[in-house]
């Protein structure tokens, strides 16, 4: 069942409950709530004209008796979404202008309705012009306004993984929105990992794939370590009470600190905190804002969901043209591992770019700064099939 509402672009951009909605650097990109640079963003908005793109339409799609890979099920799974634009079909009935845009860990689809993303891509004449494309921005399971542990079930919510999240996205498209083809799948961080899985699980469903700030391999090494640190900080906290806490356990504060640490690059952190006092103030300000909107069970489930991620065995099955973009100053997916460069060779029509660190990059979070990488998106759109629009 589909329920839709029309919402203002501005209200979705700045008043939603997105865990990344007000971030510009660092923790914005790993899905926490508010950035320590909020005032800087508002200053940018005051000095720059608003992008001219269509207001999003919001809705909820309800999936009856959704079965998870864990063997658990929900009688009704809600997937919240936003769309911009209108689907266009060819003479065979295939939608040719749909673009699926997937958010990062603990984020939601409204994270993309900001100047540094939508303002660079969705406006008139821009690469993903909302008057030409049908843009679909879902909230993943456990995130945003979709069904999640904090709604009611807490730690009794079914265990879900990335493949469950991709399946729910597919059903939203095909059953809810009646979309039978995608021009592009583009995802950031966790959404980037989902993009790799989309290319394997639904190989003939899209023309192009663009995973940002992700690696096509299972969660391991330091990437697994920091995730385990967060998971353990919540699960071993006596205040967690097996998920039935009345107030947020203190382990959530440590979780927020780890995400803050991993989300940016050392140069940016040094600029924000050039002295001991300034560094402490930046962290304290961030935590004060972020913890107002975080929930321990939601964070726990979001981090544990990555446990089933491993596109490695199926990379040869990807048919669509794929462009993976990572960033040299990304602490979560550091280029010295060489994983992306090695594994992209197994993707038939794949290409990988690691963008060098610069004054414009923000480590992992550069994935949401479209102005840094949009020239590569332009090439991908040009190379990935005939012009449908």
Map out the domains of the chain as residue ranges. 2-383
- Tell whether domain 2-383 is in CATH 3.40.80.10: no
Residue-level pLDDT at 54? 85
The pTM score is 0.87
> What value does the mean pLDDT take over residues 332-355?
97
What percent of the chain is predicted at pLDDT more than 70? Answer: 87
Rounded to the nearest angstrom, the gap between the alpha carbon of residue 31 and the centroid of all alpha carbons in its chain is: 7
* Residue 106's pLDDT band (cuts 50, 70, 90): very high
In this predicted structure, the answer to whether residue 18 has a pLDDT above a threshold of 70 is: no
Q: Enumerate residues 6+ apart whose C-beta is below 8 A from 334.
A: 222
Q: What is the CA radius of gyration of the chain?
A: 20
In tens, the pLDDT along 32-84 reads 333 433 333 333 333 333 457 889 999 999 999 999 999 999 999 999 999 99
Asked if pLDDT for residue 17 goes beyond 50, the answer is no
* Cross-strand partners of 313: none
Q: 347 phi and psi, to 5 degrees?
A: -90, 120
Report how far residue 198's alpha carbon sits from residue 327's, in angstroms, rounded to the nearest whole number. 22
User: With b meaning 16 or more CB within 10 Å and e meaning fewer, what string describes 346-382?
Assistant: ebeebebeebebeeebbbbbbbbbbebbeebbeebbe
Query: Which of these, 4, 32, 35, lies nearest to 115 by C-alpha position?
Result: 35
Q: Out of 34-38, 68-72, 133-137, 378-382, pick the least confident.
A: 34-38
Helices 190-201, 162-171: crossing angle, 10 deg rounding: 70
pLDDT for residue 28: 40
Instruction: Say which residues have a Cβ less than 8 Å from residue 288's Cβ, sequence separation at least 6.
Output: none
Instruction: Report whether 23 contacts 29 (CB < 8 A).
Output: yes
- Averaged pLDDT of the chain: 89
Between the alpha carbon of residue 1 and those of residues 38, 77, 78, 144, 363, the distances in Å are 37, 11, 9, 19, 40
pLDDT of residue 27: 40
Whether 147 shows a pLDDT value over 70: the answer reads yes
């Amino acid at each position: 069942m589909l329920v839709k509402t029309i919402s203002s672009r501005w209200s979705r951009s700045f008043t939603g409950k997105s865990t990344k909605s007000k971030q510009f650097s660092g923790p914005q990109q790993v899905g926490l709530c508010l950035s320590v640079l909020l005032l800087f963003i508002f200053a940018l908005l005051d000095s720059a004209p608003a992008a001219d793109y269509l207001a999003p339409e919001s809705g909820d799609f309800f999936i009856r008796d959704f079965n998870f890979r864990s063997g658990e099920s929900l009688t009704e799974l809600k997937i919240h979404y936003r769309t911009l634009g209108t689907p266009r079909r060819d003479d065979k009935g295939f939608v040719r202008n749909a673009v699926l845009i997937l958010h990062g860990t603990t984020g939601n689809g409204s994270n993309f309705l900001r100047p540094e993303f939508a303002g660079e891509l969705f406006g008139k004449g821009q690469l993903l012009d909302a008057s030409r494309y049908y843009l679909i921005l879902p909230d993943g399971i456990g995130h945003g306004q979709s069904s999640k542990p904090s709604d009611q079930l807490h730690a009794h919510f079914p265990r879900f993984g990335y493949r469950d999240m991709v399946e729910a996205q597919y059903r939203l498209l095909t059953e809810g929105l009646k979309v039978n083809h995608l021009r592009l799948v583009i995802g950031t961080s966790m959404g980037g990992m989902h993009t790799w899985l989309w290319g394997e699980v639904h190989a003939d469903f899209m023309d192009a794939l663009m995973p940002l700030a992700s690696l096509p391999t299972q969660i391991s090494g330091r990437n697994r370590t920091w995730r385990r640190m967060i998971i353990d900080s919540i699960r071993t906290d006596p205040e967690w009470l097996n998920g039935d806490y009345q107030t947020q356990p203190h382990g959530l504060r440590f979780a927020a600190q780890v995400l803050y640490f991993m989300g940016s690059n050392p140069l940016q952190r040094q600029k924000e905190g050039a002295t001991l006092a300034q560094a402490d103030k930046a962290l304290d300000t961030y935590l004060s804002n972020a913890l107002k909107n975080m929930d321990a069970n939601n964070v726990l489930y979001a981090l544990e969901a990555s446990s089933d991620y491993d596109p490695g065995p199926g990379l040869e099955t990807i048919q669509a043209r794929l462009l993976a973009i990572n960033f040299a100053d990304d602490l979560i997916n550091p280029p010295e591992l060489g994983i992306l460069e090695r594994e992209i060779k197994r993707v038939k029509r794949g290409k990988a770019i690691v963008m060098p660190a610069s004054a414009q990059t923000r480590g992992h979070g550069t994935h949401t700064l479209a102005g840094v990488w949009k020239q590569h998106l332009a090439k991908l759109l040009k190379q990935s099939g005939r012009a449908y629009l």
